[in-house]
Amino acid sequence: MNNKIYLSTGELAKMLGITKQNVIYYDKIGLISPVKRDEKEYRYYTLEQADELDSILTFRNLGVSINILKEYLSERNAERCIEILRKQKEKVDIEIQKLDRIRKKIDSRAKLLEQVLTLTDLKKVVYAEQDKESYMVKQCKEDDDKEYMQRFIELCNHSKQLQIDFENPVCNIIKKENLFIRNYKRIEYFGIKIPEDFDCSSIEVLEKPFGIYASTYHQGSYETMYLAYDRLIENIKKDGYRICGHAYETDLLSTLTNADKNEYIKLISIHISKD
């Protein structure tokens, strides 16, 4: 050793607030190697290398990959540094947008569940105008459980790809013709509400029209859904309305939130008009 100051692996690691294993790993992958090794193969680094490794750690903290860093260190200059930083900023912006979508989904679902927990009279029938909504749908062409599950999974997977999952619950859509014959289990479509500004050119869309809807809740297993439908349709007739469109079933509490089927809650809305 001469009078030049050298740092051992441990000293370098302590100075930069990392582990010795980090320093050794960066040597093994060729990112930064010691200028000296003694007869026992102990690594030694210069103070200039400490500064260089600090810059490398800064790039790593910004998310720059090791492969890009290797390439940059072999031809480093201000122009290349600016290029790397700008490309990394683009990646960060995309990640921020993704995280913002996730945050909105979490917030939306949490608010929905909070509203559900405030419900008191689940058997009450409410008549109200509802705005037009667009649903991405998967049609169930056969009336059997395997077909339903397949279409349901297809819709869930597609909605995840399009980043519109979770924010809105999946909706079961029953045609009015089946309501007339009390065939409430015959699902025509599974749907999920899509944002107003969403590009619908590549998906199958069903428009839920603006109008008056009669709504009530069902609590319990899916096997007893007919009780809520019968109650809702009886009230529709009694109050001088007629069914003019589909029924829309929305899961509010289901397998995501409850292990007991008797605690499941669905919102049922039927498009109606005045006789």
**What pLDDT is attached to residue 259?**
84
> Which residues have C-beta within 8 Å of that of residue 105, sequence separation ≥ 6?
165, 166, 167
- Rounded CA gap, 170 and 190, in Å? 7
- Element (DSSP H or E) covering residue 81: helix 78-117
pTM metric for this prediction: 0.71
Task: Tell me which range, 21-35, 93-107, 151-165, is most confidently predicted by mean pLDDT.
Answer: 21-35
pLDDT at 96 over 80: yes
